Amino acid sequence: MSRPLLEVQNLTMKFGNLIANDNVSFFVNEGEIVSLIGPNGAGKTTLFSCISGFYKPFAGKVFFDGKDITGKTTHEITLMGLTRTFQIVKPLKEMTVKENVLTGAFLHAQNKKEAELVAEQVLQMTHLWEKRDMPAGSLTIADKKRLEIAKVLATKPRMIMLDETMAGLNRTEVKEAMELCVALNKSGITLLIVEHVMEAIMPISNRVVVLNAGKKITEGTPEEVTNNEEVIKAYLGERYYAKSRQTNRGI
């Protein structure tokens, strides 16, 4: 059996006396779409930051492609092919959409011509080509989220961690974001997604990992997770849990 592309082993992250991640372990196989869900404050974004090098974990290990990346810098981790987006989009507002993408392309490109080619391919894939000459600050929130993906896609990653790229989008925009995630995956990129829009990520995920209060409470297929009583109580609330029990009993 092949090793996972990403493996998190017993990761713990503290901020003073606050334990944000508590002995969390999970893995992502190459080619998968794995979603990381949980209520606000569950520790999802902190976990992303520990994996991607923005925080050094208090304890535990992170492996990417079999190599220990715990404590490595974000630049080193990105060069290895693992990168991420952020909840709050931060485009380089005064630069054009294309120039924003070029900042990512130059990570591996040997010259401007090569970077331009990468940027063009990425802009076409993310449906931003027609807006390439617009100032990034003038984009809609949906397109700014696409631009965040385009910037990391230009670094030629093997795996992208997407942090709430569907938050704040309308139904049509969410559907387009789902389609982009599937297209990225079909192109050979492994995805780890933090998201609250359940109706969007459940249909496209191979597996789901659930956090609550910093701890992993379960993982499994989308169907297994959505039928898990502990997940229903922790994520959807006691009232939903009671209602689902009544429904299951035929009340």
The enclosing domain of 198 has a CATH number of 3.40.50.300
Range from 13-27, 183-197, 221-235 carrying the lowest mean pLDDT = 221-235
- Quick one: 64 and 110 in the same domain? no
- Quick one: 100 and 72 in the same domain? no
Residue finishing a domain among 104, 133, 156: 156
Tell me what pLDDT residue 80 has: 96
- Quick one: 41 and 164 in the same domain? yes
Average pLDDT of the segment spanning 161-175: 92
- Quick one: 16 and 119 in the same domain? no
Asked whether residue 118 is assigned to any structural domain, the reply reads yes
pTM: 0.89
Q: How many C-beta atoms lie closer than 10 Å to residue 23's C-beta?
A: 14
- Quick one: 110 and 19 in the same domain? no
- Quick one: 165 and 208 in the same domain? yes
- Quick one: 75 and 7 in the same domain? yes
Asked whether residue 86 is assigned to any structural domain, the reply reads no
- Quick one: 71 and 188 in the same domain? yes
Tell me what pLDDT residue 98 has: 97
pLDDT tens digit sequence for 109-120:
999 999 999 999
Range from 10-24, 166-180, 219-233 carrying the lowest mean pLDDT = 219-233
CA dihedral 129, 134, 135, 139 (to 10 degrees): -70
Asked whether residue 176 is assigned to any structural domain, the reply reads yes
How many structural domains compose the chain? 2
- Quick one: 55 and 145 in the same domain? no
Tell me what pLDDT residue 226 has: 86
- Quick one: 9 and 61 in the same domain? yes
- Quick one: 76 and 102 in the same domain? no
User: In terms of residue numbers, what domain contains 100?
Assistant: 94-156
- Quick one: 38 and 110 in the same domain? no
Asked whether residue 88 is assigned to any structural domain, the reply reads no
130 class by beta-carbon count within 10 Å (0-12 exposed, 13-18 middle, 19+ buried): exposed
Asked whether residue 245 is assigned to any structural domain, the reply reads no
Average pLDDT of the segment spanning 129-156: 96
Asked whether residue 2 is assigned to any structural domain, the reply reads yes
Q: Is the pLDDT of residue 172 over 70?
A: yes
Asked whether residue 18 is assigned to any structural domain, the reply reads yes
Asked whether residue 202 is assigned to any structural domain, the reply reads yes
Average pLDDT of the segment spanning 16-24: 96
